Amino acid sequence: MPATKPHEPDAEVAQGSMSDSAPEAVAFASNRQLTREELERAPVRWPRPSRLLEPLEPQGRKMAAGLRSLGLQTVGDLLEHLPSDSREARTIAALGAGEQATVAVEVRSIAARPVRRRGMRPLVEASVFDPTATMRATFFNQPWLVDRYPPGTRLLLHGKADGRGGFGVSHHAPAQERLGSEPQAPASCATGHAAEPATGEAVAHYPASDGVTSTQILTLVRGSRAALGDVTEALSATTRVLEGLPDRASALAAMHFPHSREDTETGRRRLAFEELLLTQLMFLRRRAHRRAQTGAPALCEEPALTERWLASSLPFELTGDQARAVEAVRADLARSNPMQRLLMGEVGSGKTVIALYAMLRAVESGHQAALMAPTETLAEQHFATIQGLLGGEPVAAALLTGSTPARRRRDVLAKLDSGELGLIVGTHALIEPDVRFRSLAVAVIDEQHRFGVRQRAALESQRPERPPHTLHMTATPIPRTLALARYPDLDTSKLHDLPRGRRPIDTRLVTGETDRAGAYEHLRGELAAGRQAYVVCPLIDAVEQPADAEAAVVGAAAPEGELRAATAELERLRGGELRGYRLALLHGGMRPAEKQAAMSAFSSGEADVLVATTVIEVGIDVANATVMLIENAERFGISQLHQLRGRVGRGEHRSRCFLFGAPSARGSRRLRALVEHSDGFKLAELDLELRNEGELSGTRQSGFGHFRIASLPQDAQLLELARARAEAIVAGDPELLSAEHALLAVELERTLGSGSLEPIPV
Ligand code: ADP
Ligand code: MG
């Protein structure tokens, strides 16, 4: 049975014939065993993956170079080079003068035109037709085409129409083989395709390069079509049946030779599923290995300090979510496998308490803990919050940032090294090479996506043989499906409920002039009561580009309405609705010192209103602010609006958020979602849904991993399926050793590299 040697790339492996027991070969419909000789004479019907390794045969050096630059060396590479889309071929009758197009035609007659003068290029002229018209196609420099394309041949021609019934061919390829008409054609995943009329035939369009065009690639693919029969099937029959997916060869065929959108999509889905399955398998295996890794200090000392702290020093009671997160962290820390937990909870949800709990567990066990934040402001805020939360517990803590004075820094470093300092909060300054911990047991990384992998690893690998437990925190709620793509191998905890006493922010959509006036009236009322307010505009200056990238992209969807600029709005308000109040300006174009001055004016209460761009999205925490007014709200994405709104409602006072928009904003499901929901996780799910439905086609989608075939968030559901399948596979066969998974293991190694099967150090 071939499957017994699955790791040899040359092994002949029958698709779908993986089974544990290898029966003896018998003659068809009898039980007579075949002799060795008979077996050797029998026609080969198994795919030969080795044939996929055969080199491509480009015509000419230029094409060879072009193929190389696309990474296409072998037949197998070519078959994996998927079309970026397929285009409907044009009809002859519809061609305009000078138009570049691809047409699907049939040859009526073809002849070489005699070359009369020296130096004149040999021409081949063919009369070709489709159901709409006939035209004269001219091929240059290829006299042999007369024999290759006899009358009756169906062709795809790419070139330029001259508007007088002539067509200069730049690329050509024979068209429309029927599936099944070739000796090695794989079974089709879809219905059998009879020859279709030439019009409207879809033509695969390939990513091309300088030396090689899409049509040339198409020609090569057509020439290599038989090799599709040699493609190995990484997905077991079980997986394919359970997920209702076609086999790999058919999926590739459906993409290269499109017959209908549905077929192509079925093929794409199958390939995307495989891609997602492979990455999920890799992550799950890594997680399993990580969980098996030991060496982290198991924190199981008496929780004297943390218990006292939770019971009496902490100035409030934990919310339900916080209590659950604390319990999960406690259990993680008690093991000698390093914790890798992601704590998601939006701004103000109380993540710092969880972080501090983990850190105090380290301290009370005689170890150290560090919290790293991406900016100095955040680090300072954390340090202040932590000191408040400690409520007088005697814990030696310090702050270390880029602006810590040299003497102080030396002192801090010495105390970290000696172990005198139990708890440290800081920025990247914590991962400078001369920072040494005596015994770092817990590392907390705030807004972890803002650090590079290396920076995160730097904190974690102080002593590789003794990895710390790590808590990653993020304020960006990520729908489960997308978390699978971004942080697939982390354990997660979520904080949904806002701390007790916090009231949801009353959010209103304001589109008419009367409502605007009412909003300003409310704002002035708050100011009169001693509260403060934010006014956010999409632009800095009236004439320039949107102040940030997301606004720019989203803006494309809502071109109407004049955009407000922070600088102009400040002047306008000063002389208008907010006359007599103290206004401050904050935007990304200001110098750091100016920004600092504006922020401290606002937080000290010297300024009543902060007129700003989205720079205030992070890093400002003024509990006295109770109004958030957002201009041109339709220009922002859900998550950004939600973040902005989170700037208010941070104190004891009721807060309100006004979303100012053009009249059409009334119909925006995004803005209505903001009005109706305050849970960031719910909003993230809705955001995903709306994006899938295309309300926001151009929003930024980075950060969801880069896949060759799958695309997120559109394929979120497929990702979910792949994850579930990967979990089932790993549960039953963690090392992928069974015959059924042998080819999957090979594919995992082939596409993700040999490291994919190895445990990676954390
Ligand atoms: P995050 O880091 O998630 O943005 P913080 O941890 O800074 O949020 O908490 C925001 C504020 O809420 C802090 O002032 C904190 O003291 C307070 N807080 C946290 N948890 C609770 C709770 N359970 N009850 C009341 N206040 C809380
Ligand atoms: Mg925080």
pLDDT at residue number 685 = 84
The larger pLDDT score, comparing residue 122 to residue 299, is at 299
Q: What are the CB-based long-range contacts (under 8 Å, 24+) for 542-548? A: 542/567, 542/568, 546/635, 547/587, 547/588, 547/613, 547/614, 547/615, 548/588, 548/613, 548/614
Which residues, judged by CB distance below 6 Å to any ligand atom, belong to the binding site of ligand 1? 316-319, 322, 345, 347-353, 385, 389, 475, 499-500
- Name which residue leads in pLDDT, 730 or 182: 730
289 pLDDT band (50/70/90 cuts)? confident
Q: What are the pLDDT digits (tens) for 272-286? A: 999 999 989 988 887
State the pLDDT at residue 425: 97
- Choose the weakest-confidence range: 269-283, 628-642, 708-722: 708-722
Q: According to the model, what pLDDT value does residue 549 have? A: 40
Residue 697's pLDDT is what? 32
Compute, in angstroms, the gap from residue 425 CA to the centroid of ligand 2.
12
Q: Is the pLDDT of residue 399 over 50?
A: yes
Distance, CA of 139 to CA of 127 (rounded, Å): 11
Highest mean predicted confidence (pLDDT) among 139-153, 200-214, 521-535? 521-535
Atom of ligand 1 nearest to the CA of 318: 23
Share of the chain above pLDDT 70, in %: 83
The residues that bridge with 158 in the sheet, in sequence order, are: 102, 171
Give the closest residue to 470 by CA, choosing from 455, 486, 485.
455
For a mutational test of ligand 1's pocket, the pick from 310, 313, 349, 496, i.e. the residue with the most ligand atoms closer than 8 A to its C-beta, is: 349
CA of 372 to the centre of ligand 2 (A): 11
SS3 491: strand
pLDDT band for position 201 (50/70/90)?
Answer: low
Confidence of residue 508 (pLDDT cuts 50, 70, 90): very high
128 pLDDT more than 70: yes
Q: Is the pLDDT of residue 17 over 60?
A: no
Q: Name the residue with the closest Cα to ligand 1, atom 19.
A: 350
Task: Place 87 in a pLDDT band, splitting at 50, 70 and 90.
Answer: low
For residues 361 and 209, which has the higher predicted lDDT (pLDDT)?
Answer: 361
Model confidence band, residue 561 (pLDDT cutoffs 50, 70, 90)? low
Band (pLDDT 50/70/90 cuts) for residue 142 is: confident
Is 471 in a helix, a strand, or coil? strand
pLDDT of residue 426: 96
Could you tell me the two tokens for 628? 């958030």
Tell me what the pLDDT averaged over the chain comes to.
81
Pick from 310, 316, 446, 498 the residue to mutate for probing ligand 1's pocket: most ligand atoms within 8 Å of its CB: 316
- Rounded (5°) CA angle 40-44-50: 110
Residue 11 — very low, low, confident or very high, per pLDDT cuts 50/70/90? very low
Q: Between 380 and 39, whose confidence is greater?
A: 380
What is the Cα–Cα distance from 757 to 737, expressed in whole angstroms? 12
The pLDDT assigned to 500 comes to: 64
Q: What is the pLDDT of residue 663?
A: 87
Most confident of the following: 497-506, 625-634, 680-689: 625-634
Instruction: Compute the Cα dihedral for 259, 260, 261, 267 and give only its sign.
Output: negative
Residue 502 has pLDDT above 90, yes or no: no
Return the axis-axis angle of helices 638-645 and 669-676, rounded to nearest 10°.
30
Ligand number nearest CA of 646 is: 1
Return d(Cα 645, Cα 672) in angstroms, integer. Answer: 14
**Alpha carbon distance 490, 291 (integer Å):** 11
pLDDT at 543: 61
| Ligand 2 centre distance from Cα of residue 421 (Å) | 22
Please say whether the dihedral angle defined by the alpha carbons of residues 730, 735, 738 and 741, taken in this order, is positive or negative.
positive
Question: Which pTM value belongs to this model?
Answer: 0.63
| Distance from the alpha carbon of residue 475 to the mean position of ligand 1, in angstroms | 13
pLDDT of residue 15: 38
Q: Return the H-helix or E-strand segment holding 129.
A: strand 123-130
Ligand 1 closest atom vs CA 354: 6
Bridge partners of 156, per DSSP, are: 104, 173
| Mean pLDDT, residues 433-441 | 93
- How far apart are the CA of 348 and the centre of ligand 2, in A? 7
**CA–centroid distance, residue 107 to ligand 2 (Å):** 71
CA of 630 from ligand 2 middle (Å) equals 23
User: What is the position in ligand 1's atom list of the atom closest to the CA of 650?
Assistant: 11
| Model confidence at 199: pLDDT above 50 | no
Please determine, for residue 22, whether its predicted confidence score (pLDDT) is greater than 80. Answer: no
Give distance in angstroms: CA of 675 to centre of ligand 2: 24
Cα separation, 494 vs 492, whole angstroms = 7
Ligand nearest to the CA of 354: 1
The residue contributing the CA closest to ligand 1 atom 10 is 348
pLDDT, mean of residues 5-31: 42
Percent of the chain with pLDDT over 90: 38
Mean of the pLDDT values across residues 468-493? 83
